[in-house]
Amino acid sequence: MDLAYLRAHPEHLPTFLTHQRIRETPVPGGDICAASRLTLDDGHSVFAKSWPETASRPVPADFFAAEAAGLRWLRDAGAVAVPEVLVAMPELLALDWVETGEPTPEAAERFGRELAGTHRAGAPEFGAEWPGFIGALPQDNTPDPGPWSGWFARTRLAPYLAMSVRNGALTAAETAPVEELIGRVGEFGGDEPPARIHGDLWPGNLLWGADDQVWLVDPAAHGGHRETDLAQLALFGGPPHLDRILAAYDEAWPLADGWRERVPLHQLHLLLVHTALFGAAYREAVGAAARAALRGAGRATVDR
């Protein structure tokens, strides 16, 4: 099997893998899927990911189809580099391989400008035309005209707060400020028309390529707020040269007044996803982000 054959017959990839007709090398990666590098007969490499399915943990319907749709949609913007989807099947996803390199200030600045271009490509509404996932969790992508603030509270905060309370990850001390934010999110300003966002843009979902480009991978793509992507970038220590990324972005498409104060509000979505998925290890981060968001709005009513 070479790349031309794979493009013409993507449905044959599982058979070739089952019969070990393709060299497969495991790749370290995320917590949800198994990943590998496939080497084709023409020397071309492909990145493949699959869901380690068991009787108690079946692959969710449309899981890889949703990721493929998001990757294609981001790639269609013609701005940030996004790997080509080669195979999208219920049990696996295969993408063109990206050779990694070292982060450079020049690549960071280019990425900031290109991310602004991707966001500017926009979306018809908040949400998307395909089912949503964030990690292994479902995410409501029902198209919604907005405004952003109410949509964000209903679909990106409240569901994951409820999951995190049910699994015991959050106590009343963390839940109360999040509930206050959900009730008052419309007071924070910053409403904008929907942007074309990655939706899960923590630093681990950037690939710094050997071609001196930054590539987007593992999206939860949808029409959302551009500040969400930028806020998520700053989580977990941030990527190299974050200041260069943000400066180049702001030069290409200036951000609205007050965006820095809204960073914790936007980060809260992904932090709540983490408490919903992984439990109490992220409890303190949720509480800190909620309190910071309230302080940033100048209306904090919850004691630290």
Task: Name the packing angle between helices 158-166 and 172-184 (round to 10°).
Answer: 160
Angle among Cα 277, 139, 290 to the nearest 5 degrees reads: 60
The residue out of 96, 126, 145 marking a domain boundary is 96
pLDDT of residue 31: 72
Same domain (yes/no): 162, 231: yes
Max CA pair span of the chain? 63
Q: Give the residue from 56, 107, 82, 136 showing the smallest Cα distance to 244.
A: 107
Same domain (yes/no): 212, 269: yes
Same domain (yes/no): 261, 204: yes
**What pTM does this model have?**
0.93
Write out pLDDT tens, residues 112-151. Answer: 999 999 999 999 999 999 999 999 999 999 999 999 999 9
Sign of CA dihedral 285, 287, 292, 294: positive
CATH of the domain at 58: 3.30.200.20
Same domain (yes/no): 205, 274: yes
Write out pLDDT tens, residues 252-275. Answer: 999 999 999 999 999 999 999 999
Same domain (yes/no): 58, 128: no
Q: Is 146 left (phi over 0), alpha (psi -120 to 50) or beta?
A: left
pLDDT of residue 303: 35
The residue out of 96, 128, 151 marking a domain boundary is 96
Provide the 8-state DSSP code for 188. S
Same domain (yes/no): 20, 80: yes
Range of weakest confidence among 46-60, 81-95, 102-116, 156-170: 46-60
Range of the domain at 19: 3-96
CATH of the domain at 236: 3.90.1200.10
Same domain (yes/no): 85, 170: no
Same domain (yes/no): 145, 254: yes
The residue out of 71, 96, 121 marking a domain boundary is 96
What is the number of domains present in the chain? 2
Same domain (yes/no): 163, 30: no
Same domain (yes/no): 167, 79: no
pLDDT of residue 299: 41
Same domain (yes/no): 277, 139: yes
Same domain (yes/no): 234, 85: no
